[in-house]
């Protein structure tokens, strides 16, 4: 009787330490959200952002005074060099732009700044049919917790998604809690916190589908991981000790 009780308790313990398929698979209802419109988030420029601003025009030679990278034309520059040549946004939110002088960019989106510079260059008689391309060169996302390669990652794309950011970190480990991904976002002096369930796709239309610069993503451990950490190191150790105990009980109750 005691042996049966022990075996039952052992089986329950093992089952509790296992994750089900529904706890592991991503976006299980993705088909229901496949025709949703994509909403892109435009990040606002913050102090200490480093901007790349490239100016073009119908007569390329006329743009040289407005492009700090013009002396390196034709050279394949790496990101570190581009950052050194970029425009650092001051604590007050200004950049010092060639010819035009100090320009306030704090709180502007990339699109808004491109349009504003284009209009200023054209209406001020500086260039004919100017084009302006702006990128943030030091946008970062930090991924912590139960991922394969936690760390801080730099991206230059205007929009990257949460799955992409997790991909930078090598994806979640099997011990990551997919139903409770924490996103910490600071913008315009306000800190917001969101929790995302990766096993569903109902958050695809949320403001947190796309990552913004300086977001922090935290992947918490799942329940089996927490239980094993608080009890015994890993499943292999549990099985070994349980086997020894079961053998001892069998020998004693013979």
Which pLDDT score is estimated for 225? 73
The superfamily (CATH) of domain 50-136 is wza like domain (3.30.1950.10)
What's the pLDDT tens digit per position in 124-136? 999 999 999 999 9
Which pLDDT score is estimated for 162? 95
Residue-range domain boundaries for the chain: 21-41+139-225, 50-136
Average pLDDT along the chain: 82
> What mean pLDDT do residues 15-21 have?
53
What's the pLDDT tens digit per position in 19-71? 555 566 766 655 655 556 666 677 889 999 999 999 999 999 999 999 976 44
CA distance 129 to 114: 13
Q: At what angle do helices 235-252 and 2-16 cross, to 10 degrees?
A: 170
Q: What's 21-41+139-225's CATH class?
A: alpha beta
CA distance 77 to 156: 14
Percentage of the chain surpassing pLDDT 90? 56
Which pLDDT score is estimated for 74? 46
Q: Which residue bears the tokens 């200490």?
A: 48
Higher pLDDT, 254 or 142: 142
Q: Is 251 exposed, middle or buried (0-12, 13-18, 19+ CB in 10 A)?
A: exposed
Helix, strand or coil for residue 135? strand
Give residue 238's pLDDT band: very low, low, confident or very high (50, 70, 90): low
Q: Is 186 exposed, middle or buried (0-12, 13-18, 19+ CB in 10 A)?
A: middle
Helices (H), the chain: 2-16, 79-85, 110-123, 162-168, 223-230, 235-252
Global model pTM greater than 0.75: no
> What mean pLDDT do residues 75-86 have?
74
């Amino acid at each position: 009787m005691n042996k049966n009780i022990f075996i039952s308790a052992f089986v329950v313990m093992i089952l509790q330490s296992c994750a089900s398929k529904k706890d592991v698979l991503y976006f299980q209802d993705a088909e229901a959200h496949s025709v949703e419109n994509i909403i892109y988030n435009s990040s606002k420029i913050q102090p200490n952002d480093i901007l790349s601003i490239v100016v073009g025009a119908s007569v390329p030679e006329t743009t040289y005074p407005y492009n700090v990278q013009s002396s390196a034309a034709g050279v394949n520059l790496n990101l570190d060099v581009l950052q050194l040549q970029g425009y650092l946004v001051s604590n007050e939110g200004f950049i010092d732009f060639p010819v035009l002088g100090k320009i306030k960019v704090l709180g502007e989106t990339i699109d808004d700044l491109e349009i504003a510079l284009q209009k200023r260059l054209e209406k001020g008689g500086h260039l004919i049919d100017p084009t302006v391309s702006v990128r943030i060169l030091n946008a970062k996302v930090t991924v912590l917790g139960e991922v394969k390669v936690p760390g801080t990652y730099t991206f230059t794309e205007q929009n990257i998604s949460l799955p992409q950011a997790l991909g930078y970190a090598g994806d979640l480990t099997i011990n990551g809690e997919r139903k409770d991904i924490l996103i910490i976002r600071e913008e315009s002096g306000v800190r917001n916190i969101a929790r995302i369930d990766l096993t569903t796709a109902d958050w695809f239309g949320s403001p947190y589908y796309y990552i913004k610069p300086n977001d922090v993503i935290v992947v918490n451990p799942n329940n089996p991981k927490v239980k094993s950490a608080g009890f015994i190191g890993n499943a292999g150790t549990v099985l070994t000790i349980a086997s020894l105990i079961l053998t001892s009980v069998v020998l004693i109750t013979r």
